[in-house]
């Protein structure tokens, strides 16, 4: 990896691209965020792109997450010798090369056949932490094996079944995850208009449930839900058969055996029944605290009072996020919520941020408004859609170079100087 001193990374990245241009090569993975999104759109099915890019309701919060950044401006300082820029950050005793990591994003098989494995390989190659999603397409054990000692965290959706929640946490510990991120804002799916209009939910095709189907507790829950058949009186149509086939193909093992065993259907049904606990409340956090010694972060914080409660409850970190505008339409843009929360937390625990990060200047603004680090969301999946693991690497490198360059040009020598 390039020396993080002397803006070496940014210079190298720029010259690789410009020198490529001399011999007629343009970046396969566009650098401009909107071009990147469009390039992914070209490669994906309508359903996959809607699932990735879409949001809740009229998508005001999706748009707001972007436009709210424009209300803040960087005021560059001159003559400060910022030839050396240190982008590294320390969280929970671990040092990371840049103040961004990869957000947990589910159902990656919709965007590339190598799915989470491609992302894990890219994250490891770039030394960036990856947060494994509860809704991953590849079990966390396989991703961890592909990452060597490279850092990873685990994102938890709290199941109706305490045993299943505990099993996920144990597996995260066993696979070397350095923290648990409990996502609070998706106890139910938001009113996602694009997905609703296409009548498409990937989980019903047994996609994005690999953490579950690879789990011993989930497999025993499947037996309990085995004989219920909500579809008994429904008409069988070519579309039903197609879904049944897809389910069987997506479920682990032989497609033919799966078709006749009924397991995929049972898995989907069990997942729908158990995936999340809408009754989740502050008392449940004590249970999680007793389950693990790993740092626990709460993802989905938007109100300073909730952040204060998190600190009082002994939580180790919070993530200010509105889930990329996918949950509550009209919710406050995440960047607008950040300053009040950072002020309340007052440095007692790390504050992370996501929802809208697209450029290096967005990272600088988030750090300036009180974040210790940020999560990169949709853009790395656009990269995955365009060019697999190499696409994810390109997006990571571009963001890193953009950040380093803008820090230097603004006279900022390290994250600590951003204020
Ligand atoms: C997500 N996000 C998400 N979050 C989470 O905690 N667990 C998950 O499984 C998922 N899955 C998921 C799928 C897709 C397709 C998207 C776009 C997002 C939310 C994610 O972690 C993050 O909060 C947002 O992506 C941030 O918004 P931007 O920057 O992508 O707009």
Q: Is the CB of 54 under 6 A from ligand 1?
A: no
Measured from the Cα of 51, ligand 1's closest atom is: 15
Measured from the Cα of 110, ligand 1's closest atom is: 15
Q: Which of 112, 225, 323, 362 is catalytic?
A: 323
To the nearest whole number, what is the mean pLDDT of the chain? 95
Ligand 1 site-directed mutation target among 101, 105, 159, 327, most atoms within 8 Å of CB: 105
Cα of 334 from ligand 1 centre, angstroms: 13
Residue pLDDT, tens place only, 151-164: 999 999 999 999 99
90 vs 236: which has the higher pLDDT: 90
Specify the pLDDT at position 224: 86
Residue pLDDT, tens place only, 266-302: 999 999 999 999 999 999 999 999 999 999 999 999 9
Specify the pLDDT at position 264: 94
Contact call for residues 325 and 61 (beta carbons, < 8 A):
yes
pLDDT > 70? residue 323: yes
pTM, whole model, 2 decimals?
0.97
pLDDT > 50? residue 263: yes
pLDDT > 70? residue 4: no
Measured from the Cα of 208, ligand 1's closest atom is: 9
* Residues 146/151/153/154 CA torsion (nearest 10 deg): 10
Residue closest via CA to ligand 1's atom 31 equals 324
3-class SS of residue 262: coil
**Spatial separation of the C-alpha atoms in residues 374 and 355, rounded to whole Å:** 9
Nearest to 33 by CA among 335, 356, 353: 356
- How large is the average pLDDT for residues 193-205? 98
Contact call for residues 97 and 128 (beta carbons, < 8 A):
yes
Residue pLDDT, tens place only, 55-77: 999 999 999 999 999 999 999 99
Specify the pLDDT at position 362: 98
Q: Is the C-alpha dihedral spanning 211, 213, 216, 218 positive or negative?
A: positive
Specify the pLDDT at position 229: 55
Specify the pLDDT at position 79: 97
* Residue 225 annotated in active site: no
pLDDT > 80? residue 175: yes
Specify the pLDDT at position 3: 45
Specify the pLDDT at position 351: 98
3-class SS of residue 182: strand
Cα of 373 from ligand 1 centre, angstroms: 16
Confidence label for 5 from pLDDT (cuts 50, 70 and 90): low
């Amino acid at each position: 990896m390039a020396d993080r001193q002397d803006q070496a990374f940014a210079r190298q990245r720029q010259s690789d691209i410009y020198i490529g241009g001399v011999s007629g090569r343009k970046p396969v993975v566009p650098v401009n965020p909107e071009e990147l999104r469009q390039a992914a759109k070209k490669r994906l099915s309508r359903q996959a792109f809607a699932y990735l890019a879409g949001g809740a309701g009229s998508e005001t919060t999706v748009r707001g997450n972007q436009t709210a950044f424009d209300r803040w401006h960087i005021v560059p300082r001159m003559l400060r010798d910022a030839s050396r820029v240190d982008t590294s950050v320390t969280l929970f005793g671990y040092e990371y090369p840049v103040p961004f990591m990869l957000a947990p994003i589910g159902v990656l098989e919709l965007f590339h056949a190598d799915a989470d494995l491609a992302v894990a390989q890219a994250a490891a190659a770039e030394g960036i932490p990856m947060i494994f999603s509860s809704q991953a397409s590849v079990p966390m054990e396989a991703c961890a094996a592909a990452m060597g000692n490279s850092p990873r965290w685990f994102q938890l959706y709290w199941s109706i079944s305490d045993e299943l929640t505990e099993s996920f946490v144990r597996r995260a510990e066993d696979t070397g995850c350095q923290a648990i991120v409990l996502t609070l804002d998706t106890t139910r799916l938001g009113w996602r208009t694009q997905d609703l209009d296409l009548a498409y939910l990937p989980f019903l095709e047994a996609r994005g449930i690999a953490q579950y189907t690879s789990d011993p507790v989930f497999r025993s829950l499947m037996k309990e839900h085995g004989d219920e058949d909500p579809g008994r009186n429904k008409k069988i149509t070519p579309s039903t058969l197609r879904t049944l086939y897809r389910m069987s193909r997506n479920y682990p093992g032989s497609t033919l055996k799966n078709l006749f065993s009924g397991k995929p259907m049972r898995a989907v049904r069990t997942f729908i029944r158990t995936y999340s606990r809408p009754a989740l409340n502050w008392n449940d956090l004590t249970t999680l605290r007793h389950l693990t010694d790993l740092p626990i972060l709460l993802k989905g914080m938007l109100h300073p009072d909730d952040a204060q409660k998190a600190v009082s409850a002994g939580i180790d970190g919070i993530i200010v996020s509105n889930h990329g505008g996918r949950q509550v339409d009209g919710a406050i843009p995440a960047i607008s919520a950040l300053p009040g929360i950072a002020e309340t937390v007052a440095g007692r625990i790390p504050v992370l941020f996501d929802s809208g990060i697209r450029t290096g200047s967005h990272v600088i603004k988030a750090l300036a408004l009180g974040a210790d680090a940020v999560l990169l969301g949709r853009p790395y999946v656009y990269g995955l859609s365009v060019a697999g693991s190499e696409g994810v690497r390109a997006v990571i490198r571009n963001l890193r170079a953009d950040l380093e360059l803008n820090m230097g040009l603004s006279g900022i020598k390290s994250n600590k100087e951003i204020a």
